[in-house]
Amino acid sequence: MKNPEFGTIVRIGVTLLLVAGRAVSAEDTLRPFWQVAQARKPVPGAPQYSAVTVRNLRPHPCLSAKEPDPYDTLRMIQEFHVTRLEWTYQLDPPFVAQLKTLGLTVGGALEDDSGSASKLGRVTGKDGQLVTHRWFPRDRLVGCANAPEFRRAWLEEAKRNVDAGVDLIQQDDPQMAARCDPPYCYCQYCQQAFAAYRQKHGPLADYEQFQRDSILAFHQEMHRQLDAYAGRHIPFSHNSAIRFHGKPDWTNPAFDFINGELDARNLAPTTFCQAVTAANDIPLVFCFRDTAVLDNRRFLALTYATGTWMMLPWDVFMPGNAPRYFGSAADYADLSGFVRANAGYLDGYEAAATTAVGLPQGAAALAIEAGSGQAYAWVRARPGEPDAPVVIHLLEWAQTGQPFVLRVRTAGLGNRPLVAKLRVPVAYNEPTHAKAQATRDFSSLAQESVLPLTIAGGDATAHIPALHPWGIMVLEPR
Ligand SMILES: [Zn+2]
């Protein structure tokens, strides 16, 4: 069986395996996984691996909405076992205080049109007309990075977030004028600033580069001023254009981590892993902009298997301004509950190896045979901890899962006796989830069974049953 996407991994190299977050050499396949896995530097505001995160456009029920709002943020948080509510506009102190009593990390949000109604300090085209993003209504006006009026409006809005008690803030559309239609600002402030820029960079200085430099400097300066106001570092995530380029964009140096959007076309695991590797240890959180339950479930599992995160599919902005998507607990809480149940096998674990069907056995730390032809595996280990279990995330990418065979080089496992267990999500059952949430004991949301291992010829071989779509194999030293 041949995985149609597999060619990408082969091209990346028989001697250089693609591992989520880093490239690993062939020699690494002879070393124990806990030596290959490398600890990552803590990043301010970034989630723990076991975090369950979600966003709101604004808190629900929205009392100012024209129609009665059927959604309830606090109920959703309980149903999905959420630990973080991020990228939420219009937070106020009482609501944030309620979230904090539930133990949540809370993230506010800023757009690039703060103070839009004043029309002061807005992105202006070459013809002197105001321009904005294609996806904004015409009366939402993007601020100019060089305009003092917009700087004041941004800071006012950011301070409101801090005063509401948020832990961190998401910046949407951080590219500002660079993604207006047409792009870039030609207002009086920009013309003055470009004159100074040319004195510094020479008469051939590029206007587009000047605009990007202005926007980057805007974010950095505004964050500095907000930190001074708050008396602490306010971590900032941003909606990077990673889905277009497969790598972090030029706004990245001003931010702590990425909270971006992906669409179905970005979904192939190999493409996704290349983006994770290109991000070079920058924490990656994603909204998946699609309503297909199977795709949402596969992508959610893929993110946790690769040390990234998918926000739960609830209040998700859809392409083309289609109605926002509110997924149900019946479709997804088995997976978010599974994350909580496996916190001990997620937190502290880092990438060590990966495989898909067809990787040449001799060059790989592990291999998958048979099954649907679309099964994947990612090994994660606790760096420098030989006594800790090694975990292997197993992901079925086919519509219908089929049993498959997993072979792991025993060198990676330290050539020692092991017990293997397979942990899988439990089919959704509302009372079980309610009890787990009430007691904060999520152990009932993972089902564990011992998996017989055959050791021969330097391989540990296990037969994996069909997955829906995610399982975590735990290899414990005996
Ligand atoms: Zn301007």
DSSP state of 370: S
How many angstroms is it from 289 CA to the middle of ligand 1?
31
6-41+349-477 fold: Immunoglobulin-like (2.60.40)
Give the pLDDT of residue 13. Answer: 25
Distance 239 CA to ligand 1 centre (A): 22
C-alpha 221 – ligand 1 centre gap (Å): 16
How high does pLDDT run on average in the chain? Answer: 91
Domain boundaries, the chain: 6-41+349-477, 53-345
Cα(124) to ligand 1 centroid in Å equals 6
- How many angstroms is it from 153 CA to the middle of ligand 1? 15
Distance 188 CA to ligand 1 centre (A): 7
Q: If you measure from the C-alpha of residue 196 to the centroid of ligand 1, how many angstroms do you get, rounded to a whole number?
A: 14
What Rg value do the Cα atoms of the chain yield, rounded?
24
pLDDT of residue 27: 55
> If 0-12 CB within 10 Å is exposed, 13-18 middle and 19+ buried, where does residue 251 land?
buried
CB 168 within 8 Å of CB 257? no
Residue 391 CA: distances (Å) to CA of 37, 44, 296, 310, 426: 12, 26, 23, 20, 19
Give 438 Cα–ligand 1 centroid separation in angstroms: 52
Rounded to whole angstroms, the Cα distance separating 65 from 297 reads 30
Beta bridge partners of 408: 366, 460
- Ligand 1 centroid–CA 146 distance in Å is 5
Within its chain, how far is the Cα of 352 from the centroid? 19
Q: How far is the CA of 105 from the centre of ligand 1 (A)?
A: 35
Separation of CA 142 and ligand 1 centre (Å): 10
Instruction: Express each pLDDT in 48-97 by its tens digit.
Output: 999 999 999 999 998 887 889 999 999 999 999 999 999 999 999 999 99
Token pair of 194 as six digits: 């470009």
Contacts by 37-43, CB closer than 8 A, 24 or more apart = 37/349, 37/350, 37/351, 37/352, 37/380, 37/381, 37/382, 37/383, 38/350, 38/383, 39/350, 39/383, 39/384, 40/281, 40/350, 41/281, 43/235, 43/256, 43/257, 43/282, 43/283
Q: Helix, strand or coil for residue 433? A: helix
Residue 162 CA, ligand 1 centroid: distance in Å: 27
Q: At which residue do the structure tokens 């959703």 appear?
A: 76
Query: Are domains 6-41+349-477 and 53-345 of this chain identical in fold?
Result: no
The predicted pLDDT at position 22 comes to 41
Where would I find the H helices in 202-285?
A: 207-230, 242-245, 269-278
Count of CB atoms situated within 10 Å of the CB of 399: 10
- List the chain pLDDT tens, one digit each, 478 residues: 333 332 222 222 222 334 433 444 555 567 899 998 999 999 999 999 999 999 999 999 988 878 899 999 999 999 999 999 999 999 999 999 999 999 999 999 999 999 999 999 999 999 999 999 999 999 999 999 999 999 999 999 999 999 999 999 999 999 999 999 999 999 999 999 999 999 999 999 999 999 999 999 999 999 999 999 999 999 999 999 888 888 999 999 999 999 999 998 888 888 888 888 889 889 999 999 999 999 999 999 999 999 999 999 999 999 988 999 999 999 999 999 999 999 999 999 999 876 654 333 344 788 889 899 999 999 999 999 999 999 999 999 999 999 999 999 899 999 889 999 999 999 999 999 999 999 999 999 999 999 999 999 889 999 999 999 999 999 999 8
Q: Which amino acid, residue 222?
A: M
- d(Cα 350, Cα 379) in Å, to the nearest integer? 8
CA of 321 relative to ligand 1 center, distance in Å: 27
Q: Taking a C-beta distance cutoff of 8 angstroms, is the pair 72, 328 a contact?
A: no
User: Comparing C-alpha atoms, which of 428, 366, 418 is closest to residue 394?
Assistant: 366
Q: How far is the CA of 257 from the centre of ligand 1 (A)?
A: 27
Do the Cβ atoms of 114 and 153 come closer than 8 Å?
A: yes
pLDDT of residue 360: 37
- Give the Å distance between the CA of 234 and the centre of ligand 1: 26
Burial of 295 (0-12, 13-18, 19+ CB in 10 A): middle
CA dist 398 → 15, 139, 155, 440, 466 (Å): 27, 45, 47, 33, 10
Q: Which CATH architecture has domain 53-345?
A: Alpha-Beta Barrel (3.20)
Query: Helix 329-341 crosses helix 73-80 at what angle (to 10 degrees)?
Result: 50
Residue 64: how many other CB atoms lie within 10 Å: 7
- pTM for this entry: 0.92
d(CA 122, CA 130): 7
Distance 143 CA to ligand 1 centre (A): 8
Compute, in angstroms, the gap from residue 220 CA to the centroid of ligand 1. 17
